[in-house]
Amino acid sequence: MSQEFAYKQALIIRLDLKIGRGKIAVQCSHAAVGAAEDARTRFPQWWKGWLGDGQRKIALKVPDLDALLNLENNARRNRLPVCLVRDRGLTQVPPDTVTCVGIGPAPSNLVDNLTGDLALL
pLDDT in tens, 74-118: 999 999 999 999 998 888 899 999 999 999 999 999 999 999 999
**How far separated are the first and last CA of the chain, in Å rounded?**
22
Query: What pLDDT, on a 0 to 100 scale, did the predictor assign at position 1?
Result: 44
Instruction: Answer whether residue 50 is part of any domain.
Output: yes
Which domain range does residue 47 map to?
7-115
pLDDT in tens, 22-41: 999 999 999 999 999 999 99
Instruction: Answer whether residue 38 is part of any domain.
Output: yes
Instruction: Answer whether residue 34 is part of any domain.
Output: yes
For 94-117, give the DSSP string: -TT-EEEEEEEEEEHHHHHHHHTT
pTM for this structure?
A: 0.94
- What CATH number corresponds to the domain at position 62? 3.40.1490.10
Instruction: Answer whether residue 63 is part of any domain.
Output: yes
The amino acid occupying position 11 is L
Q: How many domains does the chain have?
A: 1
